[in-house]
Structure 1
Amino acid sequence: MASKVKVWATIISFTASRIFFFFIFFQIPLFRFPCRIGKCTTPMELTSSQLIASEAIPSGVVKALLYPGAVGKAIINRKPIPKYNKLLETYNMKDLKRYPITTDLQHIEVLAGSYLAVAGAIIGLVKSRRLGFFGMLLLIWGLHKDPRSSKGHPSFKYYKDAIFICYPTMSIAVFSAFLSIKDDVKKIVSCFKWTFLKSKYK
């Protein structure tokens, strides 16, 4: 029984981690949020724009992160695949240093959640970790509590339609991030197995 539980947990977490990676790296829209490039719809866009602006890592690394999603979007929208060396222009990520970083730090939960989601998607391909799941929860919390979306805020009229969560895709991303945690999946499978055996031999 223990071996079957371990096998099922491995299969589920392996599949879920690949689904989560697909959602993050192929930039499936999960939300809408005002950012440095105008409007961000994925954790990858938020993370990449911040990395470019802060010059934390070389732009070539950021372009490598962005390219799978850019190719996917081009294919889905039946548009020409963007050139690799023009990728930052395509995403409107040129000259981002002119924007003050303090405006980003006001929405630290959304930024931190995006960073953790991207890092969790990468690490999840190699080893089961809770990083991606915590990132998604932090991201949702930050989007919900953003002061600009509250009626009392001076910018509410402008931002009321700018901050939005796409619940169908966001739900799948959060669910797959959770199921990619092998230890937790093992406990769930064990519970289901034990419940099934109890009902069978009653």
Structure 2
Amino acid sequence: MGSSKRLAKLISTIAFSTYFVIIIFQLPIFSVPCRTGICKTPLELTSSQLIASEVFPLFIVKALIYPGTVAKAIFKQKTIPSYRSLLHNFNTRTISVESELQRLEVLAGSYLCVGGAILGLIKPGRMGLFGILLLMLGLIREPIMGKSDLTRAKGIQIHPTIFIALVSAFFSIRSDVREIIRTFNLKRVGKAKYY
């Protein structure tokens, strides 16, 4: 019993760490038109909305996007941008309200993904999983429902990284992982009785 709890804790910790790295260090999981041009991560989409709505102070948005910007600069072997010049790439071009409402699931899913990654530092929960599922629903629904107007779905892409984020978000929920391990152990014990 104790070993299954330890195993569940280990699996959920590794899974949450993977999910956190994907979201906070801004690994591309989709491509969708947004205020900054094309957003490829939930954090980019969330940040562009937060800047445009002016709900949060800019230093909070900068603190959110700075780790990903540093990681991208290191990966591309470029100079690390200064903290002050961080938001120069975030031009807030106007997008029609109709266009934003069409991608409401993607926007809400992005907020939940970022919230799940941040709140998961305290205790991983289902917020990140719901965010990824909502994102996938919005990204898949757009091309299917927009059959008549293919230009709307033109800039939308789903990267394979989204499936890694989905699996890691699911396995970061410790109670679910513990239930899977318990079920697997019961099946294994049941098979051993027959032999």
Counterpart of 1:177 in structure 2: which amino acid?
Answer: A
Gaps of 5+ in 1: none
Q: Does the aligned pair in 1 maintain the 2:25–2:71 contact within 8 Å?
A: yes
Q: Secondary structure at the match of 1:79?
A: coil
Structure 1 counterpart of 2:86 = 87
1:107 lines up with 2:103 in the alignment = yes
Structure 1 counterpart of 2:3 = 4
Q: Distance in 1 between matches of 2:85 and 2:152?
A: 31
Q: Does the aligned pair in 1 maintain the 2:109–2:133 contact within 8 Å?
A: yes
TM-score normalized by the length of structure 2: 0.93
Q: Does the aligned pair in 2 maintain the 1:5–1:186 contact within 8 Å?
A: yes
Q: Distance in 1 between matches of 2:142 and 2:11?
A: 34
Deviation at 1:151, TM superposition (A): 3.2
Q: Secondary structure at the match of 2:27?
A: coil
Structure 2 counterpart of 1:67 = 66
Structure 2 counterpart of 1:198 = 190
Q: Secondary structure at the match of 1:84?
A: coil
Q: Distance in 2 between matches of 1:15 and 1:147?
A: 34
Gaps of 5+ in 2: none
Task: Map 1:169-188 onto structure 2 (within 5 A).
Answer: 169-188=161-180
Shift of the 149–45 alpha-carbon distance from structure 1 to 2, 3 Å rule, reads: farther
Q: Secondary structure at the match of 2:32?
A: strand
- Deviation digits for residues 75-112 of structure 1 (CA, Å, limit 9, x no counterpart): 111111111111111xx214x27545553233110000
Q: Does the aligned pair in 2 maintain the 1:30–1:41 contact within 8 Å?
A: yes
- Pick the aligned partner of 1:189 from 152, 162, 181: 181
Q: Secondary structure at the match of 2:79?
A: coil
What is the count of residue pairs matched by the alignment? 194
Deviation at 1:117, TM superposition (A): 0.3
Structure 2 counterpart of 1:164 = 157
Task: Map 1:9-48 onto structure 2 (within 5 A).
Answer: 9-48=8-47
Q: Secondary structure at the match of 2:84?
A: helix
- Deviation digits for residues 170-202 of structure 1 (CA, Å, limit 9, x no counterpart): 111000000001111110010111122222332
Q: Hey, which bits of structure 1, 4+ residues long, moved more than 6 A?
A: none
Q: Does the aligned pair in 2 maintain the 1:16–1:176 contact within 8 Å?
A: yes
Q: Does the aligned pair in 1 maintain the 2:113–2:131 contact within 8 Å?
A: yes
Identity %: 47
Comparing 18-27 with 189-198, greater Cα deviation is found at: 189-198
